[in-house]
């Protein structure tokens, strides 16, 4: 076994270290990565309106409680609970027999009154000739004239009784006063129904109209003043009490796809809430809107103006402030704080302040760019440059 001196080992280690250091010094430093590729585009110019959004609910144009006008026993129900009915459709029937008897009795009394009138009229005509011939006294003539007048009055009374009896007979059939959807029956056949005009009449069912339908909502006093001032400044076609185009969306919808028009604004502000009631009307041919249903309404809140818009995805957030990245002439990303407006239906965000119409705004690649750093700007839809990193998919 050969023993290597320690000095020899040290010399070999120093030689190996020198060779390693020499090889490292000969390697070139890695090249710096190219500036990140971002998609830039100028803001979109568009004439738009500002909108306000409120929560409200649908209400029926007409809501009618079906109550009987005559009392009697309910004989039949001629509808299914919850069905659509048309004006004039038969809904309930009350037992007609007592009213038929009353009508026949009234007609009999009317016939008796006619007969009595015919007799008294003939007697009065004879009396006129007899009083001229001095055959009867003036007192007898006046008695016959009074009998004729009484017979005429009794005929009028009996005729009115006939009309009332026939009207009561007609009221035994309860028909739909309006077209709409009827609720469930409140009384089953065989029960006594209290009718008339008093406050204790029996409620049989309720009908609400469906098409068209109204939408009611409330807005605050400050918004009301803003709308009124806009209307006074000539923006009646956008903000007024009648005819303004509005739109609603239901709770399961993303966009305001149902269009209607304002038809009413209340004349007083509620003292307890400081709000005022507005109302719009919408077509509802398919019955999708139901009275009592909640929805959101969008109301025009400004005169038309030209605005700058960028994709909503181009907006960044820094604590409570919003910003966009703008690429300068030297391809350096610059942070611009902006004031935001509404979002349009095509997901563009209105920028009220912070950018100009000629700025190149980063609309894709916001997370790769950093303020103050160089970027590789590309037009929308352009082929990525060689060496530029691809956008993450």
Q: What is the DSSP string of 363-382?
A: EE-TTT--TTSB-EEE-TTP
pLDDT at position 373: 87
pLDDT at position 390: 39
pLDDT at position 280: 93
3-state secondary structure of 53: strand
Are 246 and 301 contacting, i.e. CB atoms less than 8 angstroms apart?
no
Q: What is the dihedral of CA 168, 173, 174, 177, to 10 degrees?
A: -90
Distance, CA of 361 to CA of 351 (rounded, Å)? 12
Query: Number of helices (H) and strands (E), helices first, in the chain?
Result: 4, 24
For the chain, residues classed under CATH 2.40.30.170 are: 51-61+212-300
Q: Measured in whole angstroms, how far is the alpha carbon of residue 384 from the centre of its chain?
A: 47
pLDDT in tens, the chain (393 residues): 445 455 555 565 556 555 555 555 555 666 777 888 888 889 999 888 888 899 999 999 999 999 999 999 999 999 999 999 999 999 999 999 999 999 999 999 999 999 988 988 888 888 888 878 778 788 888 888 898 899 899 999 999 999 999 999 999 999 999 999 999 999 999 999 999 887 789 999 999 999 999 999 999 999 888 888 887 776 655 555 567 889 999 999 888 899 999 888 898 999 999 999 999 999 999 989 999 999 999 988 887 888 899 988 888 888 888 998 998 888 888 889 999 888 887 888 899 888 888 888 988 888 888 888 888 888 886 554 543 443 333
pLDDT at position 386: 43
3-class SS shares of the chain: helix, strand, coil, % to 5: 25, 35, 40
Strand partners, 376: 37
pLDDT at position 387: 39
Contacts of 224 (CB under 8 A, 6+ apart): 269, 276
Distance, CA of 54 to CA of 35 (rounded, Å)? 46
Give the Å distances, CA to CA, from 175 to 70, 79, 86, 200: 14, 11, 9, 20
CATH number of 51-61+212-300: 2.40.30.170
Strand 192-193 and strand 180-182: pairing?
A: unpaired
pTM of this structure = 0.70
Distance, CA of 389 to CA of 37 (rounded, Å)? 6
pLDDT at position 392: 36
Are 94 and 74 contacting, i.e. CB atoms less than 8 angstroms apart?
yes
Distance, CA of 309 to CA of 361 (rounded, Å)? 11
Residue with tokens 């309720």: 206
Query: Which segments within 256-320 are labelled E, that is strand?
Result: 258-265, 275-282, 294-300, 305-311, 316-318
Distance, CA of 296 to CA of 292 (rounded, Å)? 13
Q: What is the dihedral of CA 252, 254, 255, 259, to 10 degrees?
A: 10
Distance, CA of 259 to CA of 209 (rounded, Å)? 19
Greatest pairwise CA separation for the chain in angstroms: 186
pLDDT at position 388: 41
For 72-89, b where at least 16 C-beta lie within 10 A, e where not — what string? Answer: bebbebebeeeeebeeee
Residue with tokens 């029937």: 93
For the chain, residues classed under CATH 1.10.287.470 are: 96-171
- The CATH classification of domain 96-171, taken from the options 2.70.98.90, 1.10.287.470, 3.30.300.100, 3.40.50.1220: 1.10.287.470
- Rounded to a whole number of angstroms, the distance between the first and last alpha carbons of the chain is 66
For the chain, residues classed under CATH 2.40.420.20 are: 37-47+305-378
| DSSP state at residue 388 | P
CATH number of 37-47+305-378: 2.40.420.20
Cis peptide leading into residue 212 (ω within 30°) = yes
pLDDT at position 213: 95
pLDDT at position 391: 38
Helices 97-132, 138-171: inter-axial angle, 10-degree rounding: 160
Distance, CA of 178 to CA of 89 (rounded, Å)? 9
Among 145, 293, 164, 286, residue whose Cα is nearest residue 217: 293
């Amino acid at each position: 076994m050969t023993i290597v001196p320690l000095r020899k080992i040290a010399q070999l280690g120093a030689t190996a270290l020198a060779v390693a250091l020499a090889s490292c010094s000969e390697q070139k430093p890695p090249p710096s990565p190219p500036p990140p590729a971002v998609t830039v585009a100028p803001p979109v110019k568009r004439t738009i309106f500002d909108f306000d959004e409120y929560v409200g609910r649908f209400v029926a144009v007409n809501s009618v409680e079906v109550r009987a006008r005559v009392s009697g026993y309910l004989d039949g129900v001629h509808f299914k609970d919850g069905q659509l009915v048309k004006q004039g459709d038969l809904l309930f029937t009350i037992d007609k027999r007592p009213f038929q008897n009353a009508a026949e009795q009234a007609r009999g009394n009317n016939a008796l009154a006619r007969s009595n009138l015919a007799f008294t009229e003939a007697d009065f005509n004879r009396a006129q000739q007899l009083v001229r011939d001095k055959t009867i006294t003036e007192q007898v003539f006046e008695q016959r004239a009074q009998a004729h007048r009484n017979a005429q009055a009794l005929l009028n009374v009996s005729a009115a009784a006939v009309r009332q009896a026939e009207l009561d007979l007609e009221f035994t059939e309860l028909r739909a006063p309006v077209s709409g959807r009827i609720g469930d029956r409140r009384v089953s056949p065989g029960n006594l129904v209290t009718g008339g005009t008093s406050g204790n009449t029996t409620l049989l069912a309720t009908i609400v109209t469906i098409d068209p339908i109204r939408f009611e909502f409330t807005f605050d006093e400050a918004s009301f003043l803003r709308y009124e001032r806009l209307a006074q400044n000539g923006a009646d076609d956008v903000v007024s009490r009648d005819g303004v185009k509005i739109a609603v969306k239901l709770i399961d919808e993303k966009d305001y796809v149902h269009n209607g028009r304002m038809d009413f604004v209340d004349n007083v502000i509620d003292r307890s809430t400081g709000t005022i009631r507005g109302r719009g009307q919408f077509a509802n041919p398919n019955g999708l809107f139901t009275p009592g249903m909640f929805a959101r309404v969008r109301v025009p809140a400004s005169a038309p103006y030209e605005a700058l818009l960028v994709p909503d995805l181009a907006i960044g957030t820094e604590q409570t402030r919003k910003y966009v990245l703008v690429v300068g002439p030297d391809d350096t990303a610059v942070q611009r704080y902006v004031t935001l407006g509404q979002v349009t239906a095509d997901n563009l965000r209105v920028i009220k302040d912070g950018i100009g119409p000629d700025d190149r705004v980063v609309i894709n690649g916001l997370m790769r760019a950093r303020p103050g750093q160089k970027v590789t700007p590309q037009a929308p839809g352009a082929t990525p440059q060689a060496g530029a990193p691809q956008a993450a998919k």
